[in-house]
Amino acid sequence: MNHLRWNPLLKTYTLIATNRIQRPIFPDECPFCPGSGKIKDTYDVLYLPNEFPVLSNEFKAPIQENGSFFKSGASYGQCEVILYSPDHFATLYDLENSHVEKLIKLWRDRSLELSKNASIEYIHIFENRGQEVGSSIHHPHGQIYGYPFIPLKLKTELDSCKEYFLQTNKNLILELNAQEESEQKRIITSNKSFLAYIPYFAEHPLGVFISSRRQKSFLTDFTNEEITDLAMILKDVTGALDAVYKKPLPYTMSIHQAPHKSKEYFDNKNYYSLHIEFSPVLKDASNVKFHGGSEMGAWANISTKPAEESAEILRNALQIFKKAGR
């Protein structure tokens, strides 16, 4: 039975999802392709309910004895799948700019709709690309989770940004942007609305941030012009990542936006800005960078390259990608 279990050491929840064991593997067929009989025959971008959700308003909390030391709760929330294209082999950079804009607007519209769910405290949009990060279906797609709490990584970011603002009256993420742009060592590319760079403290080789130049807390804050610019830079970054090793690079892409109705972070527009984090998992062309004892046991991440070296590699890869006319 799916439910939440409180971890008092880390002050966050573990999600128990027993239904995930039942997820099928599709070696010879794709349920997301038109004609599969499982989805619409025609679409550009599409959202679907996740058939094996971690979170749902149908899940009930387990019965607990009064006075129990341990604490659990219901896995209330929502999980959706976002299909990027009907083309089984498409990548983000293969798609027309207008098509990627449709995808971003679908992310925005679903975020707005999920924010109306009283059970949901945080909306997380992400993509697991490749078997190395747990993707069971090759078709280009991502997911949206609506959590009944603010996940620990996001809460830590929010707390750090709020503390920095109270000390300096400045937005920490915009300060990071300004510093990276002034040094130029780790910048990959930029346009009027966004910067793409490998941050000084990057946890992964090729771990790119795409960050808004202006303070924007949510996807719903972006203008149509900014959505166009985001589509362009997403295509450039994903194209460059694949050009590094001349093959599809497995990664996790996560959109970090503010919580939409938190009392604790009601003033987030003062100090938090939306950004997108890429976490590629290869350390070279043929070897996966596994998280080991330091990362898993102590949360002390180890990167095998300083960000400056990785940024130079990715800038060169972007030029190769551009010359190929992709």
Structure tokens at 281: 């998992």
Q: By CB neighbour count within 10 A (0-12 exposed, 13-18 middle, 19+ buried), where does 147 fall?
A: buried
Q: Is the dihedral of CA 72, 74, 76, 81 positive or negative?
A: positive
Extract the tokens encoding 248.
């599809």
- Tokens (6 digits) for 199: 């941050």
Catalytic residue among 3, 124, 139, 141: 141
Is 141 annotated in the active site? yes
Rounded Cα–Cα distance for residues 295 and 176 (Å) = 24
Residues in Cβ contact with 133 at an 8 Å cutoff, skipping those fewer than 6 apart: 250, 251, 252, 281
Catalytic residues: 141
